[in-house]
Amino acid sequence: MRGRSTAQTSLITLLNVESRIPERHPIREIKRLIGKVFRELDSYFDDLYAEGGRSSIPPERLLGAKVLMALYTVRSDRQFCERLRYDLLFQWFLEINPDEEEAIFDASSFSKNQERLIRHAAAEIFFARVVELARAGRWASNEHFSVDGTLIEAWASMKSFRPKDEPPQGPGAGNPWQDFHGEKRSNDTHQSTTDPQAKLLRKGAGKEAKLCFAGHAVMENRTGLCVHFEVTPSVGVTESGQALAQIRELPDREFAPRTVGADKGYHSKDFVQGCRELGVAPHVAEVKDRRVEGFDGRTKKKGYQTSQRIRKRIEEIFGWMKTTGGFRKTRYRGVERTHFCGQMVVATYNLLRLAKLNLEAMTAAPPPTEVGA
């Protein structure tokens, strides 16, 4: 029999938001995980704020909001603040009671309160704590890793890429038509008036040049979690050079790298010898007919083939970041703010991955064994 819709006659009702969310929904496990992180960071948050004065938005809610934005592909701070007013799941996740109207922040306060967290690298610390959760649960490899890089489009149009010596446009100039035909433009002579830190770069032969930043990731090879992520200018920093710097930092994060997988872009003398100096086997994809000292038959053992198979999973991280995470194009200007956003997006990817792994482990086999050499 056909069902009939009824008019909404009651605007006041009692409901339990907890009962609306399925018991095995990953959002429940994600909330539990970040709650554990926030409890560990409680003293750190205390040091960021003065004891007196007007209360700010709690840092737990600011960082939790960034997690929600990545999970549910919210494209801007303003859109999130609007959605927070009527989305009960968002209010439940941030522990805001539906009747606490004053606890729901607006876009200007949300953006302003983030500045303190950006200055004190709160996103990096949050990301590191999430990685520690993975290590504590024995989900992260301690020895075998993969590296790769990607480009992140800047929030600036090609129209804004103007000569450095050009006088600024006066008020009322608007958005005039621009013709770049026949004009030679480079980072040496031009810069974006919207985001001067964004650099013009061509991804490859036959590709168009874009204003962008570079993202560099290190993935552990056991379950595909990202353990290190950096955003840098797209020009002046090479992928292989930044990867070496990240591998060098892994022991400071209590990892003991033995192998690192990478694509053909890392089959170079500097990267291979740099890995050898660090005591790490460079399991990089080989460029045909290119001879690189330190890369020989001793490198291509059984573990080499495993690293080459597993290292492709790092593209899953970039794919999630750019689709669900909304990080194909940054919403912010400058390297610092883009790096803050990138850290939160990658941390959210790890949280979602951990939540699913934990839920599977409750009804399945124990965590998988080491993958690598």
204 pLDDT band (50/70/90 cuts)?
confident
User: Does residue 33 sit within a domain?
Assistant: yes
Helix axes 122-136, 107-119, angle to 10 degrees: 70
Pick 103 or 261 by higher pLDDT.
261
- In the chain, the percentage of residues whose pLDDT exceeds 70 is 95
For residue range 69-124, what is the model confidence (pLDDT) as tens digits? Answer: 999 999 999 999 999 999 999 999 999 988 888 888 899 999 999 999 999 999 99
User: Does residue 202 sit within a domain?
Assistant: no
Q: How much is the average pLDDT of 158-173?
A: 80
For residue range 123-152, what is the model confidence (pLDDT) as tens digits? Answer: 999 999 999 999 999 999 999 999 999 999
The verdict on 37 and 111 lying in the same domain is yes
User: Does residue 133 sit within a domain?
Assistant: no
The verdict on 340 and 281 lying in the same domain is yes
Place of tokens 């489009």: 153
Query: In the predicted model, is pLDDT for residue 320 greater than 60?
Result: yes
- Contacts with 205 (C-beta within 8 Å, 6 or more apart), sequence order: none
User: Does residue 79 sit within a domain?
Assistant: yes
CA atoms within 13 A on the CB side of 304: 13
The verdict on 233 and 289 lying in the same domain is yes
The verdict on 150 and 107 lying in the same domain is no
Pick 156 or 103 by higher pLDDT.
156
The verdict on 113 and 146 lying in the same domain is no
259 pLDDT band (50/70/90 cuts)?
very high
The domain that holds 279 is classified in CATH as 3.30.420.10
Query: In the predicted model, is pLDDT for residue 364 greater than 70?
Result: no
Place of tokens 């409890």: 39
Confirm if 17 and 98 have CB atoms less than 8 A apart. Answer: yes
Query: In the predicted model, is pLDDT for residue 367 greater than 60?
Result: no
Query: In the predicted model, is pLDDT for residue 365 greater than 60?
Result: no
249: its two tokens: 């930092």
- Give the pLDDT of residue 183: 79
- Give the pLDDT of residue 370: 60
The verdict on 54 and 151 lying in the same domain is no
Q: Which domain holds residue 95?
A: 17-119
For residue range 218-252, what is the model confidence (pLDDT) as tens digits? Answer: 999 999 999 999 999 999 999 999 999 999 999 99
44 pLDDT band (50/70/90 cuts)?
very high
Query: In the predicted model, is pLDDT for residue 287 greater than 70?
Result: yes
- Give the pLDDT of residue 231: 97
Instruction: Report how far Cα 105 is from the mean position of its chain's Cα atoms.
Output: 24
Residues 262, 85: Cα–Cα separation, whole Å: 45
Considering its fold, how many domains does the chain have in total?
A: 2
- Give the pLDDT of residue 101: 81
Mean pLDDT, all residues of the chain: 90
Residues 228, 257: Cα–Cα separation, whole Å: 13
Query: In the predicted model, is pLDDT for residue 7 greater than 60?
Result: yes
Query: In the predicted model, is pLDDT for residue 217 greater than 80?
Result: yes
- Give the pLDDT of residue 368: 59
Q: How much is the average pLDDT of 285-302?
A: 82
Residues 245, 280: Cα–Cα separation, whole Å: 13
